[in-house]
Structure 1
Amino acid sequence: MSARNINHEIIEELYSEALVLADDARAAFDLRFQDNAADCNDLTRVALSIEGLRTTTRLMHVLAWLLNHRAYMAGELSDTQLEHCGTLPEERQADADNLARLEPETRALIEESERLHARVARLDRERRADIAVKMPVASLQGRIAKAFATG
């Protein structure tokens, strides 16, 4: 499936969902305005901060991926530009110990962001697999670069 074949409506629906989740995450993890934030113990506040950062980062990666694909579909990015900046970064799952400290609504929000990331990651894998089939030399170069990458 090439990026041009990804259904425009799917991208738009995912984009809307990601925006709503990002707004919900901002509200859920903003300790300045939480009534119960003062009642939290230190470990709960740390867990909330860590998972808040993971969740918002996950959502920003999804939004960036979707924005790149929206720009590509609108003709604002070339195939090369999309390939250069259109790959979704790997997911960092929430820590089970941190999740256990959080309220059920917050855990549900985190899990929803992980599901959204998984859906977009599936689209990204399909796009990259299609590119690899069409461009075997580029695929081989990518594998070599990954094998010798440090970090």
Structure 2
Amino acid sequence: MSDFTGKSHFGTEAIAFGARALNSELFRELFREGMALVEETAAYLDGDGRTESRTLSRAATLSYSTESMRLTTRLMQIASWLLMQRAVNEGEMSPEQARTEKNKVRLDFQPPVMSGPLWNELPETLRSIIERTDRLHGRIVHMDKAIYDVAAEPAANLVARDLDRLASAFGARRADS
């Protein structure tokens, strides 16, 4: 059995997927993209977005307000997650502290509704930012699961779980169960 750091409690070394993911170029690119999207969104909502929203119908204005609040909330949660992971990567926070603090960061929000007449009335720039934020969110959720879900469950349990799934899919039982 291994802990979050990858240290095995049985004398063998487990692969520390979390540490490798956080130290990867993939994470650094994700971080840069996420923080750039936060800055772009803030500039848009305070500038051109404010101007564009004045030309919308009453219903589209309400939709714009709702979507911009949701977008801001999503981006703040994404930024919090990215900053926390960078802190772990740079040794400012231990992986155990991150696991505790991670519970305060919400990545389980509902995806935006990117269709319908009101969606089509929203300014193109806002729609583009929402779509890119949704894709970024998906990548972050994937990395979060790779870091925390694998670290939370010992490798032997993961293999057993997968064998159980295969056995049940084919209507068989494992001999060692």
SS at the partner of 2:79?
Answer: helix
CA RMSD of aligned residues (A): 2.4
Runs of 5+ unmatched residues, structure 2: 1-15, 158-177
Assess if the C-alpha contact under 8 Å between 1:62 and 1:117 holds in 2.
Answer: yes
Q: Give the one of 121, 125, 136 matched to 1:105.
A: 125
The aligned residue for residue 148 of structure 1 is none
Is 2:119 the counterpart of 1:74?
Answer: no
Normalising by structure 1, we get a TM-score of 0.77
Q: Which residue of 2 aligns with 1:120?
A: 140
Runs of at least 4 residues off by over 6 Å: none
Q: What secondary structure sits across from 1:94 in the alignment?
A: coil
With the length of structure 2 as denominator, give the TM-score of the two structures: 0.67
Mapped to 2, the partners of 1:31 and 1:50 lie a distance apart of 17
Unaligned runs of 5+ in 1: 137-151
Change (3 A) 1:39 1:118: same
Please, which moves more after superposition, 11-20 or 82-91? Answer: 82-91
Match of 1:63 in 2: 79
* Deviation at residue 11 of structure 1 after TM alignment: 2.2
Which structure has the greater CA radius of gyration?
A: 2
Match of 1:38 among 38, 42, 54: 54
Contact 1:31 1:37 in 2 (8 A): no
Matched-pair contact (CA < 8 Å) for 1:44–1:101: yes
- Following superposition, the deviation at residue 50 of structure 1 comes to 1.0
Amino acid at match of 1:89: L
CA distance in 2, matches of 1:117, 1:9: 18
- Which structure's residues are more often helix, by fraction? 1
Q: How does 1:12-31 map to 2 (within 5 A)?
A: 12-30=28-46
1:32 positional shift: 8.5
Judge conservation of contact 2:18–2:148 (CA < 8 Å) in 1: no
Aligned CA distance change for structure 1 residues 10 and 86 (closer, same or farther; 3 Å)? farther
Partner of 2:107: 89
